[in-house]
Amino acid sequence: MIEKQSDNVENQEENVSEEVNENKDSSVIENQISEDKQSLDVDDENIYAEDLKNTITNNDARLEQLEKEHETLKSQYVRIAADFDNFRKRQSRDQDDLKVQLVSKALTAILPIVDNFERARQQLKPESEEAQTLHRSYQGLYKQLVEVLKQQGVSPMRVVAQQFDPKLHEAVLREPSQEFHEDIIIEELQRGYHLEGKVLRHALVKVSMGPGEQNSQEPEEKDKVEEDIDSENPISEEN
């Protein structure tokens, strides 16, 4: 009986020892699992941090590339916009020039008619009532023609007593004058016209050569030179 009890006690002790060993083993395993888990978590965090760093680096490089492309496209857009604006201005300017040329050509063809109206006005001296009526009708037509020219931007030049300017005037005659200095316009032979600030037709004018006494010496000097030349001709012929 005592032996059985001792055996039971021994068996219980062995069971307790085994349980203790099992508990120790399980604790070790749990600790190992916990350590492994922590190690895996650290590795995962390192991998995630490295991936995140690589992603940020790639995004920065891509962003820099996109910014360069944006600047390139912006420069191209600005250049194309400037070229188009210049083209539009050039087209507008060419159209304006063409319009002025066509208008100038048409108006230039009309100006001789205006000249004839003015000559007729200066020559006509109506005396009878019928002639005066005709003259008034003529004046009405002339005023309408002048008004049309004004509406088109045509304005006459005022040249008498002005300094001769080859850009505006064409000198047909030159003569001495006691009243006007040299290169001053004495008389208007054919009226000149402007078209919106540009010359539509040059004025034909008579220009002063200055006081006649000074200029009268020039023909005398010229005649003297010609006489000297003539007197030398026989000598050259004899040689």
The pLDDT profile of the chain, 239 residues, written as one tens digit per residue, is 555 555 554 555 555 555 555 555 566 566 666 665 666 566 667 777 777 788 888 888 888 888 888 889 989 999 999 999 999 999 888 888 888 888 888 888 999 988 888 888 777 777 777 777 877 888 888 888 889 889 988 999 999 999 999 999 999 999 998 889 999 999 999 999 999 888 999 999 999 998 865 444 444 444 443 444 344 433 333 33
Q: Which CATH class is domain 155-239?
A: mainly beta
Instruction: Find how far residue 159's CA is from the centre of its chain.
Output: 36
Q: How many Cα atoms within 13 Å fall on the side-chain side of residue 88?
A: 6
Question: Which residues sit opposite 188 in a β-bridge?
Answer: 205
**d(C-alpha 57, C-alpha 202), whole Å:** 76
pTM: 0.53
Taking the C-alpha atoms of residue 2 and residue 169, their distance in angstroms, rounded to an integer, is 158
CB-based contacts of 164, cutoff 8 Å, min separation 6: 171, 183, 184, 185, 205, 207
